[in-house]
Chains A and B, each alone.
Chain A
Amino acid sequence: MSTVIKTFKKTELNTDFEVRSQNSMCVNRSELDKPLLSNLKFTFAGILFGIILVKSEVISWFRIQEMFRLQSFHMYGVIGSAIVVGIISIFIIKRFKIRSIDGEPIHFEPKKFNKGQIYGGLLFGFGWALTGACPGPLFAQIGTGATVIIVTLFSAIIGTWVYGFLREKLPH
């Protein structure tokens, strides 16, 4: 009986990982079982990230329109310098084999190409131009008191759900 349960558990875990890895954005390789409240450190990181998004006006609909009209360097400067710092950070982490605070080796997930990055990328671009926000800024905009953006966020959740529903039928 116990063997049966063990095998069952094992298969369940494996399929779960397979489903998760279908989407490279959604793989969390940390195998540690941490208590729920240990996640509060990510809330703290989110608070800092949210403050940066608001104070740099990255969540401004106007800044996004300026970016897509080539009327301001601001957004290009923000995204470009973020990438430069990201590249250097990842290089340092790999070079010195820096571990997480739990002592785990840091794992980088390579992304596989599929056509979804083109079709989905274009569709997201359309939505970005309309709402002036990507998913992170949607949360931050609601926080600043733009309560109607709750509707936009809800619609984004519906959009995600519809993608999941149609996934098998869409070209990838």
Chain B
Amino acid sequence: MNFIEWIKQPWPWYVAGPLIGLTVPVLFILGNKSFGVSSSLRHICAACAPMNISFFKYDWKKEVWNLFFAGGILLGGMISAFFLSNPDPVLIDTRLATELAGYGVTNTEGLVPKDLFNWESLLSVKGLILMVGGGFLVGFGTRYAGGCTSGHAIMGISNLQLPSLIATCCFMIGGFFFANIILPLILKL
């Protein structure tokens, strides 16, 4: 098996996790930056529509590295899709596959379920809740919490910050509740 074939397979957690963890010191060493992605959304607000809101009145140009980083993530996604994509179907847990099939979600190809996230369903109630409502909660919640999975769960806990541990526990509680109790109701729509 050559290198490209090898790298195209899905990477196991013990390869990906440590590499993600290394992003923390890499950003510090490259320029004294704290790992975190959700701030980029705030900088976009500050750059495009500060509207005299004090939370967005700061010199976002000083934080522009974060937008370069976010742009890089997008490019990384493109590179993976064009050159490194896995030819085999993504394996998902059979219990999840059965549950999703019950809601008519049978296409488990790719990383984003095409049955739920597509332009046609954007105007349906289900699509609006998942894409527009879900996105809103991600943006509102991460900023209210002061960070997301990268800023709190990885960066914050790595720096042994109790507030980040509390935030991460709340991410998980919220996720467990919604995925198991609320999401099934939405998928039934």
A residues sitting closer than 8 Å to B (CB atoms) are 16, 19-20, 22-30, 34, 36, 38-69, 71-87, 89-90, 92-93, 98, 100-102, 104, 106-114, 116-136, 138-149, 151-165, 167, 170
In the assembled complex, the Cα of A59 lies from the Cα of B135 at a distance in Å of: 14
Interface of chain A: mostly helix, strand, loop or mixed: helix
- Contact sample, A vs B, 6 pairs, CB 8 Å cutoff: A85-B20, A121-B170, A123-B141, A126-B177, A127-B139, A130-B186
A74 touches B173 (CB 8 A): no
Q: Mark B139-159, 1 if CB is under 8 A from A, else 0.
A: 111111111111111111111
B143 touches A160 (CB 8 A): yes
Q: Identify which of B59, B139, B180 contacts A163 (C-beta below 8 A).
A: B139
Please tell me which one of the listed residues B38, B119, B133 contacts residue A148 in the complex, with CB atoms under 8 A apart. Answer: B119
Provide the bound-state CA to CA distance between A61 and B13, in Å.
16
In the complex, chain B residues 153-189 whose Cβ is within 8 Å of any chain A Cβ: 153-164, 166-180, 182-183, 186
Known contacts A45-B26, A100-B29; decide if A126 and B137 are in contact (CB<8 Å).
yes
- At the interface, yes or no: B102 with Cβ under 8 Å from chain A? no
The answer to whether A71 and B96 touch across the interface, beta carbons within 8 angstroms, is yes
A90 near B24 with CB under 8 A, answer: yes
Chain A contacts for B72, CB-based, 8 A: 42-50
Number of interface residues of B (CB under 8 A): 135
* B153 and A162 within 8 A (CB): no
* B36 and A25 form a contact (CB under 8 A): yes
Q: 1/0 per position for B31-45, CB-CB distance to A under 8 A? A: 111101111111011
CB distance from A140 to the nearest CB of B (A): 4
Scan B1-25; emit 1 where CB is below 8 A from any A CB, else 0: 0000001001111111111111111
Q: How far is the CA of A68 from the CA of B25 in the complex (A)?
A: 29
Determine if A159 and B140 form an interchain contact, defined as CB atoms under 8 angstroms apart.
yes
Residues of B within 8 A of A29 (CB): 32
A131, A142, A147: residue with the most chain B Cβ atoms closer than 10 Å: A131
Q: Please, which residue of chain B has its CB at the minimum distance from the CB of A36?
A: B64
Q: How near does chain B come to A95, taking the closest CB pair, in angstroms?
A: 12
Q: Which residues of B contact A119 (CB under 8 A)?
A: 144-145
CB atoms of A111 and B161 under 8 A apart: yes
Among A46, A67, A121, A152, point to the contact of B69 (Cβ < 8 A): A46
Say yes or no: B36 contacts A140, CB within 8 Å: no
Contact A26 B39 (CB under 8 A): yes
